[in-house]
Structure 1
Amino acid sequence: MQRKNLTEVTEFIFLGFSRFHEHQITLFAVFLILYTLTLAGNAIIVTIIHIDCHLHMPIYFFLSILASETVYTLVTIPRMLSSLIAQNQPISLAGCTTQVFFFVTLVINNRFLLTVMGYDHHVAICNPLRYALIMSKRVCVQLMCGAFSTGLAMAAVQVTSIFTLPFCHRVVGHFFCDILPVIKLSRIDTTVNEIINFVVSLSVILVPMGLVFISYVLFISTILNTASAEGQKKVFAICASHLTMVMVHYSCASTDYLKPKSENSVEQDLLLSVTFTIITPLLNCAVYSLRNKKVKDSLRRAVGRNIS
């Protein structure tokens, strides 16, 4: 009876950055520049890895997938930019469901790809003679499909738990349909839904993060016991970019999705989401890729061919 008496909501309106009304044009310009740099940088990385045979290795295969999957930002950022110019643009219930599904799928897939890249480092350092056999093309494709399938399954669970709720409010206190802001729109008790969301979020953060940690413990112990001081320095330099991306990604994800409900604040949620959707993909390009010597050398060769 309670569900029947509630007014059915068929579309939502994003609150977004309306509380920063006097700065919206500035925010639009800054976000547009950052987003353009992100798309351009990652497009260059995918192209370079595809055309340069020197980069046809497992780690760069995963890096190209990671770079190409910045497409998940297409689900959120263009609408955010348009809302900074024209406010109160509605999104349908179906559109909101689709946005959550693709965003969660690709973010979780991204997370497990970082884990797979950590495993690749582990194999390269701990089993260099068997690296080509262990990280064969077939295995790489299987790992990629496994990461994507996990993202699909977890997204299906979360979307089902959220969008079976009856919604009584139309205003989303965010700039896209994220999980927690959408759950808040229901007036009925959402404890079960929040528990499901928390368990899924916890598992897709702790499991890949734990696997990365194990990989690093194993290969750090290996290089400390076998490599020279110069070799240790070289290995740590190679792994530094990956570790930076892992730390940024999981610190943002943990703070955003695992913090107590009582600690939620609109400003904090917006800042974390901007970091997660704009800054992190840009860091993927700047930190993980353009600091990589082989990628930079390949880029120089490509530019040199075009100039000549």
Structure 2
Amino acid sequence: MYVFLSNLSLSEVLLTTNIVPPMLHILLSNGAIISLVGCFVQFFLFGVFVVTESFLLSAMSYDRFLAICKPLHYTLIMDPRLCLCLILVCWMLGFLIMTIALCVVNTLYFCRENIDHFYCDFIPILKLACSDTSMVEIVTCFLSSSATMFPFLVIIVTYGFIIRAIAGISSSTGKEKAFSTCSSHLGVVFTYFTPP
């Protein structure tokens, strides 16, 4: 669990350092202009870290599932090799999904070379486009849906099994201990997947 937490922390730190320094620079220099290339870089990195976090949360739910539902087999199943593979897959999916999204966005023709925001999100990028954006919107909608819905469904299914296993524990102390191992992860999942 700590290996997953350290990767989740790393992705959150990288996410923050991708957004906050450019924002501070723009606020301190009284201007809000980012070049199109800089905007694409910020959009790509932001997306990579967000998608990676989403997949890391689902990998963490699988880890909790193994720890609670298969405690005697946990060390055999969740060995360092599987843990490393899960982490690498999470990061590679983040890079893959955002590479596809960036390639699709890069097919657009842009009227201006600068954007007047401190944060390059998908909508401000589309507003710069002079060409038809409908296909780009469809592809990125599919990518973003798959990057959030698949991990969310994995989390829901694993926690369904976890709740069933906790309900089968006879002692209240055992139930509390099992639930306490999941409470911090559930808090992060709730914060991550609920809108502000």
Structure 2 distance, partners of 1:106, 1:67, is: 11
Tell me which amino acid in the other structure corresponds to 1:135. M
Q: By how many angstroms is 1:175 displaced?
A: 2.5
In the alignment, does 2:102 pair up with 1:159? yes
Aligned residue identity for 1:105: V
SS of match in other structure, 2:128 = coil
Q: Distance in 1 between matches of 2:32 and 2:101?
A: 25
In structure 2, the gaps of 5 or more residues are none
For residue 36 of structure 2, what is the amino acid of its counterpart?
Answer: L
Letter in 2 for 1:61: V
- Normalising to structure 2: TM-score of the pair? 0.92
The yes-or-no answer on 1:76 pairing with 2:24 is: no
Q: Deviations over 1:177-225 (max 9, x none)?
A: 1122211211322111111111111111100000000010001101101
Q: Which residue of 2 aligns with 1:63?
A: 5
Instruction: Map 1:78-117 to 2 at 5 A.
Output: 78-117=21-60
Task: Provide the TM-score with structure 1 as the length reference.
Answer: 0.60
Letter in 2 for 1:242: H
CA distance in 2, matches of 1:61, 1:165: 40
Q: What does 1:175-186 correspond to in 2, within 5 Å?
A: 175-186=118-129
SS at match of 1:167: coil
CA distance in 1, matches of 2:150, 2:109: 32
Structure 1 residues 99 and 133: CA distance shift in structure 2, 3 A: same
Please name the residue that 1:204 is paired with: 147
Cα deviation digits, residues 253-304 of structure 1 (max 9, x gap): xxxxxxxxxxxxxxxxxxx6xxxxxxxxxxxxxxxxxxxxxxxxxxxxxxxx
SS across alignment from 2:57: helix
**Structure 1 pair 137–105 and aligned structure 2 pair: CA distance change class (3 A):** same
- Pair 236,143 (structure 1): closer, same or farther in 2 beyond 3 Å: same
Counterpart amino acid of 1:200?
L
Count of equivalent residues: 195
Matches within 5 A, 1:1-308: 59-69=1-11, 70-169=13-112, 172=115, 174-252=117-195
| Greater Rg over alpha carbons, structure | 1
Structure 2 CA distance for aligned equivalents of residues 197 and 172 of structure 1: 20
Over 3 Å counting, the alpha-carbon distance change for 1:209 and 1:174 in structure 2 is: farther
Amino acid at match of 1:68: L
Unaligned runs of 5+ in 1: 1-58, 253-271, 273-308
Q: Are the aligned partners of 2:108 and 2:130 in contact in 1 as well (CA < 8 Å)?
A: no
Summarize the Cα distance change of 1:120–1:166 in structure 2 as closer, same or farther, 3 Å threshold: same
